[in-house]
Chain A
Amino acid sequence: MPVTAAHSAADLPALLTLALRPLPTAPLELLLQRLADSILARHPGLLDRIGGEGTRRFGIEPRDLPFAILLEVQPAAVHLSVVSALDGLQVDARIAGNLLSLIELIDGRRDGDALFFSRDLAVEGDIEAVLALRNAIDNAELELLHELAQLAAPWSGIAEQMMRTAVRALAYVAPVPAGFGERAR
């Protein structure tokens, strides 16, 4: 008999999700693209480990956010767009999970297979491309807060400190990713 799945990551509060709904997506898209460019520059082996030829399109669906992200991986670049939904878009693979699970996966604080076993993470489409993406990200040893702070250069150190303080404060009212408020490893 199948075992009932024990979920491991909390959704964002519904009120917060609702509050995000009317916000314009263009600034977020710009921020995500700058973050992706910075990560690629700082981790040059990432695309090589993803491998493959041509463009692969990943639809990333944070289930507790009112939008989705289209990630296009090319041999030498990535492009990110924020879309209201993935329906009708041509993608090679879809990856869905709540925001916390996805962040903790990128940060290397959660195991992708374990999130899949517990149904916290769902994947469809080109599974080979999904595995290559996941393994490449895991090997890059990213920490999103640290990577975000690099965008504020030359004030990255101060920015990182402020963000960690803000996340620790946020933890009183909403679930935050494990270890996000701690110092960089």
Chain B
Amino acid sequence: MSTGSNALLEIVCPAGTPAALRTAVDAGAHSVYCGFRDETNARNFPGLNFSRPEMREGIAHAHRHGAKVLVAINTFPRAGGLALWHRAVDDAAEMAADAVILADIGLLAYAAERHPHLRLHLSVQAAAANAASIGFYVTEFGVRRVVLPRVLSIAEIARINAGVACETEVFVFGGLCVMEEGRCSLSSYATGKSPNMHGVCSPASHVSYRDDGGELVSRLGEFTINRVERAAAVAYPTLCKGRFKTALGCGHIFEDPASLDVRELLGQLRTAGVTALKIEGRQRSRAYTGAVVRAFRAAVEAMAGGEPLPRDLLAGLAEGQRATSGAYLKTWR
């Protein structure tokens, strides 16, 4: 499925709080994604997310301003704990959410059966990275959109779009994960808490920072994962962004800390048939949300009007203060 060449690409923005949701809508978001204040969503961090009344008011606010709300219920339910996830789907449907973003097959089946009119999006956590896999979710559950894993090149995305009967959404800005979305166990190994089931990657309760003679030492659980010199930019305290000593020397063995920023590639993504552009960062502030959404709204409008892309500097918001085009232009070694 492809988007018409002149259609405005949909900007899908993160909101960790009701204030961030309002900021995103004010800044020009077409859609906002957010989650309930529990382990049903993959950003279950302290002080974040929406109570039921906040979600209801957030959805109403977005609708009054012509924006959509996509409710992320994208962790994998625990055996014996299904009721929490089912209630989240039921509540999102009752609150007139425009879609729910799900990853678990059982939860997709539940939503499709109980709420046949509820629009289903497949979370990146499902890691559906080829047309056959996506086709399964479309055929079995009526999934209308898939959020593609951050492992695909633009050519691969174009091939997927040519072979699937649903919309695709791709990440265009923000933090990057290692290439095992929905299956990564690094944080679970270090802390006992799973990003995929408890919704917390590198839970704050297990993170510690220490100043050691001007060097910032970060630890996750029992592991020292980084030691950064006084003048150097730092990253999130995740194992995948840590630096480790190996036989090859000391360095980032999983990936370098950097944020995705592919404003320069929006035209190619549109040509590849992408419908929506996802901005990562429900854990970030409304200052981040406002700045990034404004920059991307300006970029998609300039592109639709055939004008040059505006140059807004977002590098200061990037993890490790570095931007990357991720896998989109990558050639595999």
* 55-92 of chain A: CB within 8 A of chain B: none
B321 to chain A: which residues have CB within 8 Å?
Answer: 3, 5-6, 117-118
Whether the pair A128, B204 counts as a contact (CB closer than 8 A) is: yes
Closest residue to A185 on the B side, CB-wise? B26
A8 within 8 A of B: yes
Query: In the bound complex, how far is the Cα of B56 from the Cα of A100, in angstroms?
Result: 36
A128 to chain B: which residues have CB within 8 Å?
Answer: 46, 203-205
* 81-129 of chain A: CB within 8 A of chain B: 108-114, 116-119, 122-125, 127-129
Query: In the bound complex, how far is the Cα of B320 from the Cα of A117, in angstroms?
Result: 6
Query: In the bound complex, how far is the Cα of B46 from the Cα of A133, in angstroms?
Result: 9
Whether the pair A132, B316 counts as a contact (CB closer than 8 A) is: no
From B210, B288, B318, A124 is in contact (CB under 8 Å) with B210
Closest residue to A135 on the B side, CB-wise? B47
Query: In the bound complex, how far is the Cα of B19 from the Cα of A158, in angstroms?
Result: 27
A163 within 8 A of B: no
Whether the pair A111, B284 counts as a contact (CB closer than 8 A) is: yes
Closest residue to A128 on the B side, CB-wise? B204
Known: A124-B209, A139-B17, A139-B19. A114 touches B47 (CB 8 A): no
Q: How many residues of B contact A (CB 8 A)?
A: 42
Whether the pair A3, B233 counts as a contact (CB closer than 8 A) is: yes
A114 to chain B: which residues have CB within 8 Å?
Answer: 287-288, 316-318
Whether the pair B317, A3 counts as a contact (CB closer than 8 A) is: no
Known: A111-B317, A118-B316. A132 touches B19 (CB 8 A): no
Whether the pair A2, B288 counts as a contact (CB closer than 8 A) is: no
Query: In the bound complex, how far is the Cα of B207 from the Cα of A131, in angstroms?
Result: 11
B235 to chain A: which residues have CB within 8 Å?
Answer: 117
**Which of B62-70, B151-159, B165-173, B224-232 participates in binding chain A?**
B224-232
From A5, A119, A133, B47 is in contact (CB under 8 Å) with A133
Known: A5-B232, A114-B316, A127-B207. A108 touches B287 (CB 8 A): yes
Whether the pair A113, B283 counts as a contact (CB closer than 8 A) is: yes
Query: In the bound complex, how far is the Cα of B204 from the Cα of A130, in angstroms?
Result: 9
Whether the pair A8, B47 counts as a contact (CB closer than 8 A) is: no
Known: A2-B232, A113-B283, A127-B204. A50 touches B47 (CB 8 A): yes
Query: In the bound complex, how far is the Cα of B316 from the Cα of A118, in angstroms?
Result: 8
B211 within 8 A of A: yes
Query: In the bound complex, how far is the Cα of B134 from the Cα of A59, in angstroms?
Result: 50
Whether the pair A111, B285 counts as a contact (CB closer than 8 A) is: yes
B198 within 8 A of A: no
B20 to chain A: which residues have CB within 8 Å?
Answer: 138-139
B288 to chain A: which residues have CB within 8 Å?
Answer: 111, 113-114
From B19, B47, B207, B233, A2 is in contact (CB under 8 Å) with B233
Closest residue to A52 on the B side, CB-wise? B46
Whether the pair B285, A138 counts as a contact (CB closer than 8 A) is: yes
Whether the pair B286, A6 counts as a contact (CB closer than 8 A) is: no
Query: In the bound complex, how far is the Cα of B317 from the Cα of A63, in angstroms?
Result: 22
Known: A128-B46, A139-B19, A141-B19. A3 touches B322 (CB 8 A): yes
Closest residue to B16 on the A side, CB-wise? A135
Known: A8-B316, A114-B317. A134 touches B47 (CB 8 A): yes
Whether the pair B231, A139 counts as a contact (CB closer than 8 A) is: no
Whether the pair A117, B233 counts as a contact (CB closer than 8 A) is: yes
B17 to chain A: which residues have CB within 8 Å?
Answer: 49, 135, 138-139
B234 within 8 A of A: yes
B319 within 8 A of A: yes
A51 within 8 A of B: yes
From B47, B209, B211, B233, A118 is in contact (CB under 8 Å) with B233
B18 within 8 A of A: yes
Q: How far is the CB of A48 from chain B (nearest CB, A)?
A: 9
Known: A3-B233, A114-B316, A138-B17. A131 touches B47 (CB 8 A): yes
Q: How far is the CB of A152 from chain B (nearest CB, A)?
A: 25
A123 to chain B: which residues have CB within 8 Å?
Answer: 209
B45 within 8 A of A: yes
Q: How far is the CB of B174 from chain A (nearest CB, A)?
A: 10
* 228-247 of chain B: CB within 8 A of chain A: 228-236
B269 within 8 A of A: no
Known: A51-B46, A111-B285. A124 touches B211 (CB 8 A): yes
A2 to chain B: which residues have CB within 8 Å?
Answer: 228-229, 232-233, 320
B268 within 8 A of A: no
B95 within 8 A of A: no
B322 to chain A: which residues have CB within 8 Å?
Answer: 3
7 A-B residue pairings within 8 Å (CB atoms)? A2-B320, A3-B320, A49-B47, A114-B288, A117-B233, A118-B233, A130-B204
Query: Footprint of A on B, CB under 8 Å?
Result: 16-20, 45-48, 203-205, 207-211, 216, 228-236, 283-288, 291, 315-322
